[in-house]
């Protein structure tokens, strides 16, 4: 499917703007969206102006994928953005692994088997009784009684 001409022109305009290319390469979604939407033709502007920066970036990158060939420095900026996102993801995954938060199903089942399961049944009468306030001591009661 061919990319509509207005999108191709928009991509070429963004590729010609060195500030947009730099913002794209550094994954500055908010600043990139603010600057790039100003270059959008009227029909695209109405579609793009209300989008969240992440959505705008995904939409723009999707259009770039369809619009081959790209200006070389725009292609380089997209590659740099992708590498930056991959680096961020790698750091997050390393944290999850190092913190012990990513367990295999077998390890998770083993850890859960060591925990005691307690079953709590509801009280017949609510505690504290409705309309009553319970305080640990009179100092706390004096401090918080105005709020109740």
Q: Tell me: the pLDDT tens digits for 8-20? A: 888 888 888 888 8
Contact 86, 27 (CB under 8 A): no
Angstrom distance (rounded) from CA 60 to CA 38: 14
Model confidence, pTM: 0.55
Mean pLDDT of the chain: 83
CA dihedral 98, 100, 101, 106 (to 10 degrees): 130
Look at 116 and 53; give whichever has higher pLDDT: 116
Per-position b or e across 109-122, b if 16+ CB within 10 A of its CB: eeeeeeeeeeeeee
């Amino acid at each position: 499917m061919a990319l509509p001409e207005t999108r191709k022109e928009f991509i070429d305009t963004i590729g010609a703007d060195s500030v947009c290319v730099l913002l794209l390469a550094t994954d500055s979604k908010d600043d990139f969206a603010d600057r790039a939407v100003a270059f959008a033709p009227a029909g695209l502007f109405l579609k793009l102006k209300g989008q969240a920066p992440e959505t705008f970036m995904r939409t723009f990158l999707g259009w770039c994928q369809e619009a081959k060939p790209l200006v070389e420095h725009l292609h380089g900026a997209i590659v740099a953005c992708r590498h930056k996102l991959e680096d961020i993801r790698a750091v997050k995954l390393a944290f999850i692994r190092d913190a012990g938060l990513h367990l295999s199903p077998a390890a998770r089942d083993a850890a859960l088997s060591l925990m005691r399961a307690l079953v709590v049944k509801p009280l017949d009468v609510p505690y504290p009784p409705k309309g009553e306030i319970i305080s640990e001591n009179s100092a706390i009661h004096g401090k918080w009684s105005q709020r109740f």
